[in-house]
Structure 1
Amino acid sequence: MSQVSLRDIRSYPRLELALEPGLVLVTGPNGAGKTNLLEAVHVATQGISFRTRQDAQIVRRGAEEGLARVAGRRGDVGVETEVRLSVRDSKRIRLNGATVASAEELRSRAHTLVFTPDRLAVVKGGPAARRAYFDRVLVRALPARADLPTAYGAALGQRNAALRRVAAGLSDVTTVDPWTAQVAALAGQLVDARARVLSLLSPVFEERASELGLEQATLGYDIEPPSREALDERLSRDLERGTTGLGPHLDEIRIAAGDRDLRTFGSQGEQRIAVLALLLAEAELLAGQGGVAPLLLLDDALSELDADRRRLLSARLGLAGQTLVTATGAEALPLAPAQLLAVTPGEVRPA
């Protein structure tokens, strides 16, 4: 990515910004607009914000529309993306001048990975946060199986609706059967795909976590998908509760260090290292598959890391393609970045 153009996005009425390849450090006081800049780049490359799903919240207050555009190269190929947001209408997305039907299509053709302090929920939050995270990795890393999380969720929703209709006396119990069969079939495929993703991520995740001082880090997902027979056996309980009580929508994915589950027995610093190691592992996986490193956006990633770990992370990020990192001051980054930017409200300039 070499050029960012913004108009009426969050705190930026208008911005034209040239970026150097490599590691770019974005500095400024709290509230100056550092996160807004990363969010705008994410919108331009992924079609969505990492902070909200309400497009109107991204448009600058008092404006009717906002524009986020980036240009650069993906390997040897020039790429320009443009996302127009409106407080009233649907977003409009273009890639190299051609209209893109959806944000999902844009994300399938341009990879951007993000770290924010909120992403610690992947480790410290409940099982749903981990399932959602690894299913997003699945979509990016296994494009041939990218529809599985959505397809399983749709079949599960239909089975749950059928269960509630039967419990209300509006349908016969046999109407649940087709959805039970579909849920069982898709559950097996989804479990297999998740296991494949974790097997691809695990070796690099363990290496990167160890580099950052988190020893014996592991990912665990040893799950048997529910069979049709198992779902049938608990039909009466599912009818009583109006929901399917067995399947990958309830699975746990374990992130551990040795015999310690980091959700319960990890420090805040260890949880941060685990999330950063996951991001680095996914970036290397995607780069190995597609030959092009994804764009990395790291917001406040360096806080709560000591000087040695900041140096190690900085060195690794310097090898990862193009990365934008935010911090309140340049001293947060032990190594010299390829470019240093200073943010004041509504403005970004070379420091």
Structure 2
Amino acid sequence: MEQVALRDVRSYPRLELELEAGLVLVTGRNGAGKTNLLEAVHLATQGLSFRTRQDGQIVRRGAEEALARVSGSRGAVAVESEVRISTREPKRIRWNGAALASAEELRSRLHALAFTPDRLAVVKGGPATRRAYFDRVLARTLPARADVPTAYAAALGQRNAALRRVAAGVSDASALEPWTNQVVALAEQLVEARMRVLELLAPAFAERAGELGLESASLGYDADPPSRTALDERLPRDLERGTTGLGPHLDEIRILAGDRDLRTYGSQGEQRMAVLSLLLAESEVLADQVGVPPLLLLDDALSELDADRRRVLSDRLGASGQTLVTATGAEALPLAPAQLLVVTPGSIESG
């Protein structure tokens, strides 16, 4: 990414910004608009915000439309991405001047990974949060299987609806048959795809975590897709509850340091290191797959890390392609960035 143009995106009425390759440090006091800048870049490259799914919240207060545009190069190929959000019309996305049908299509062409403090929920949150996170990683790293989690969720929803109809006496038990068969087939595909994703991430995750001082880090997923026999055996309970009680929608993915599950036995600092290590691991996997590292957007990633770990992380980020990191002051970064940006409300200047 070389240029960013924003108009009426949250904090910025209008902004034209040139970015250097490498590690870009974005500084400013709390509330100045650092996170909003990263959010706008994420919008322009991924078609959505990392903070909200309500597009109207991205538009600057008092405005009716917001525009985020980035241009630069992907390897040796020049690219430009533009996302326009209106409070009155559907979102419009353009890639090199041509309209795209969806944000998913944009994300298939341009990768960007974000860290925010609330991403610690990947480790400290419940199993559903981890499943959702790794299924998003699945979509990025195994694009041919990107629709498997969605297809499984749709079949599961249909089976649950059929269970409730059968239990209410308004449908025959035979109505369950096609949905049960789909759930069994798609569950097997989903478990296999998740295992493949964890295999891809595990080596780099362990190495990056070890560099940050989180020793013997690993990912655990001991899941078996439900068989048709198993689902048939628990049918009475599923009918009573109106939901399917077996399947990968209930699986746990564990993030470990040695034999410690970091959800329960990890400090907040260790949980932060684990999430950052996952991001770095995915970045390496994507770089190996497509030959170009993804854009990294890290909001307040350096806090709660001691000086040694900040240096290790900064060195790694400096070698990872283009990265934008926010901090309240330049002293948070223990090396000289390729570019220093100072944010004040509504504007950005080179430091």
Bin the TM-score by the shorter chain: over 0.9
| 2-structure distance, mates of 1:32, 1:206 | 36
- Give the residue type in structure 2 aligned to 1:203: P
Residue 234 (structure 1) aligns with: 234
| 1-structure distance, mates of 2:268, 2:205 | 18
Residue 328 (structure 2) aligns with: 328
Q: How many residues align?
A: 351
Moved more, 169-178 or 112-121: 169-178
Residue 347 (structure 1) aligns with: 347
Deviation at 1:90, TM superposition (A): 1.1
Deviation at 1:228, TM superposition (A): 1.1
Aligned ranges 1:95-174 → 2 under 5 Å: 95-174=95-174
- Give the residue type in structure 1 aligned to 2:72: G
Identical counterparts, % of pairs = 80
| 1-structure distance, mates of 2:132, 2:349 | 36
Residues 56 and 88, structure 1, Cα contact 8 Å, conserved in 2:
no
- Give the residue type in structure 2 aligned to 1:257: A
Residue 52 (structure 2) aligns with: 52
TM-score by length of 1: 1.00
| 2-structure distance, mates of 1:30, 1:169 | 58
- Name stretches of at least 5 consecutive residues in structure 2 with no aligned partner: none
Residue 264 (structure 1) aligns with: 264
Residue 309 (structure 2) aligns with: 309
Instruction: Please give the secondary structure, in 1, of the residue aligned with 2:81.
Output: strand
2:25 pairs with 1:25: yes
Residues 296 and 324, structure 1, Cα contact 8 Å, conserved in 2:
yes
Residue 36 (structure 2) aligns with: 36
Instruction: Please give the secondary structure, in 1, of the residue aligned with 2:179.
Output: helix
| 2-structure distance, mates of 1:243, 1:76 | 51
| 2-structure distance, mates of 1:262, 1:328 | 28
Q: 1:8-38: per-residue Cα shift (whole Å, max 9, x none)? A: 0000000000000000000000000000000
Deviation at 1:88, TM superposition (A): 2.1
| 1-structure distance, mates of 2:165, 2:348 | 56
Instruction: Please give the secondary structure, in 1, of the residue aligned with 2:292.
Output: coil
Residue 191 (structure 2) aligns with: 191
Aligned ranges 1:273-284 → 2 under 5 Å: 273-284=273-284
Moved more, 57-66 or 84-93: 84-93
| 1-structure distance, mates of 2:101, 2:328 | 38
Q: 1:171-226: per-residue Cα shift (whole Å, max 9, x none)? A: 01110111000000000000000000000100100000000000011100121111
Residues 254 and 261, structure 1, Cα contact 8 Å, conserved in 2:
yes
| 2-structure distance, mates of 1:243, 1:290 | 40
| 2-structure distance, mates of 1:167, 1:337 | 63
Q: 1:149-172: per-residue Cα shift (whole Å, max 9, x none)? A: 110011001101111111111101
Q: 1:231-270: per-residue Cα shift (whole Å, max 9, x none)? A: 1111111111011111000000000101110000000000
Deviation at 1:141, TM superposition (A): 0.3
- Give the residue type in structure 2 aligned to 1:255: I
- Give the residue type in structure 2 aligned to 1:160: N
- Give the residue type in structure 2 aligned to 1:25: L
| 2-structure distance, mates of 1:170, 1:321 | 58
Runs of 4+ more than 2 Å apart: none
- Give the residue type in structure 2 aligned to 1:178: P
| 2-structure distance, mates of 1:232, 1:8 | 55
Moved more, 221-230 or 28-37: 221-230
| 2-structure distance, mates of 1:161, 1:93 | 35
| 2-structure distance, mates of 1:158, 1:99 | 34
- Name stretches of at least 5 consecutive residues in structure 1 with no aligned partner: none
Instruction: Please give the root-mean-square deviation of Cα atoms over the aligned residues, in Å.
Output: 0.5
